[in-house]
Structure 1
Amino acid sequence: MKRLLAALLLLVAACSPESPRGGRQALPGPAPAGVSYPDVKGASAPKLTLSLVDGTRVSTEDLWRDRPLVLLFFSSWCGKCAEAQPDFTALAEKHRDAVAFLGVAGRDSDRDLRRYLDEHRVSYPVARDDAEQSAGRAFALREPPLVAVVAKGGALVKGWPGGTNANAVAAELAALFHQR
């Protein structure tokens, strides 16, 4: 009976409306062995400290310290964002730990954001921009989507106001790390 009750509690917890997607469990682990990152010079990307959807504080500087970082600014109501999301999720999963991905959601209710993360099976961490859209403004975001690639160490490599596709991001990443 105790085992049945424990199994039922686990099932209820797994079906909870509180989405675990986008929180600290999605942060990258250590950079994999056998991956090297060239030094890239250029203008520094803006440093941000944000709260993930589960309240965990994260710094872009910490994320790009050991690997490149892809920033994806989006909103749940953005059709272009939703259209590109499956490909970005696949790209993040393909490069798991070798490249950090961070979504930054702006102007979303908690409910709409959770629904978006679940519907699109977002596998990387997601932070919320503040009411003033400070993170978006730091990257000159006018309206989502915006994608930015930052090299290991913080050099801004490329940004796409208005978004881009995952293939364009993958092409930029190809020059930023090498797997042996």
Structure 2
Amino acid sequence: MRRPGPAHASRLAAVLVTVAVALGACSAGAPESAEKPPAPVSAGGADTLPGPVPSALPLRPAPTDSPGAPAFTGTLTDGTPLTAANLWADRPVVLLFLSSWCTICADRQDALSDLARSYRDRVVFVGVASEDEPADLDAYLRDHRVEFPVVFDRDQTIWQSYAVREPPAVAIVAKGGALLRGWPGGIDAAALDARLRELVIAG
């Protein structure tokens, strides 16, 4: 095979430089295919809704003279609609009325969050927040490890239906929708646990 001469080598080098420049121009203008980061998950949103009801859940029957809990629909912190009656149709529900600026709520919230985890899927805890700013509420829920659904009751419609004037307040709703007990001023986790075992959980 004949060795290329100097002229041929020069032409080859010029062609390679031209191709390299063209490729560089194309790659510089090409859009990057980096994936967008996932949207942040709102604390208290749809991912905190309960799973299936545990089989053979032992529950005490609600007293026949118990009033019905005020039914409500609302919107979770991430915009997901929630109908309370769908939750208490098949299991008890604890309603926690709270706000991020409420010092009593903050003092009790960590223990209540732990209690909610201990009853996971057997008893649904639902926060009902009002008089709050979304960013402040989100920070509160994250700081206190709240892993249950939270309705943002902007116009206090739900609060008013439960005669809640200020946070905290707590209400227990039996499976089927009977209002078993309410606590204006709230209740701490240990006392709430005792009342759940007394009023709701059998065995």
With the shorter chain as reference, the TM-score category is: 0.7 to 0.9
The reply to whether residue 39 of structure 1 matches residue 31 of structure 2 is no
**Aligned with 2:170 (options 142, 147, 153):** 147
TM-score (norm 2): 0.78
Alignment size in residue pairs:
169
Unaligned runs of 5+ in 2: 1-33
Q: Distance in 1 between matches of 2:35 and 2:133?
A: 28
SS of residue matched to 2:192: helix
Q: Distance in 2 between matches of 1:9 and 1:20?
A: 21
Give the structure 1 partner of residue 125 of structure 2.
101
Give the structure 2 partner of residue 71 of structure 1.
95
Greater strand fraction, Structure 1 or Structure 2 = 1
Q: Give, as a single letter, the amino acid of the residue that structure 1 aligns with 2:180.
A: V
TM-score (norm 1): 0.87
Q: RMSD in angstroms over aligned alpha carbons?
A: 2.0
Unaligned runs of 5+ in 1: 1-7
5 Å-filtered alignment, 1:152-163, equals 152-163=175-186
Give the structure 2 partner of residue 21 of structure 1.
43
**Aligned with 2:195 (options 153, 157, 172):** 172
Give the structure 2 partner of residue 116 of structure 1.
140
Q: Distance in 1 between matches of 2:141 and 2:151?
A: 12
Shift of 1:57: 0.8
Shift of 1:169: 1.4
Give the structure 1 partner of residue 108 of structure 2.
84
Q: With CA pairs under 8 Å and 6+ residues apart, which has the higher RCO, 1 or 2?
A: 1
Give the percent of matched residue pairs that are identical in Structure 1 and Structure 2.
44
Q: Give, as a single letter, the amino acid of the residue that structure 2 aligns with 1:54.
A: D
Instruction: Check the 8 A contact 1:37/1:177 in 2, yes or no.
Output: yes
User: Which stretch shifts more, 19-28 or 43-52?
Assistant: 19-28
Shift of 1:19: 4.2
Q: Distance in 2 between matches of 1:19 and 1:82?
A: 22
Q: Distance in 1 between matches of 2:59 and 2:80?
A: 27
Q: Give, as a single letter, the amino acid of the residue that structure 1 aligns with 2:52.
A: P
Shift of 1:9: 6.4
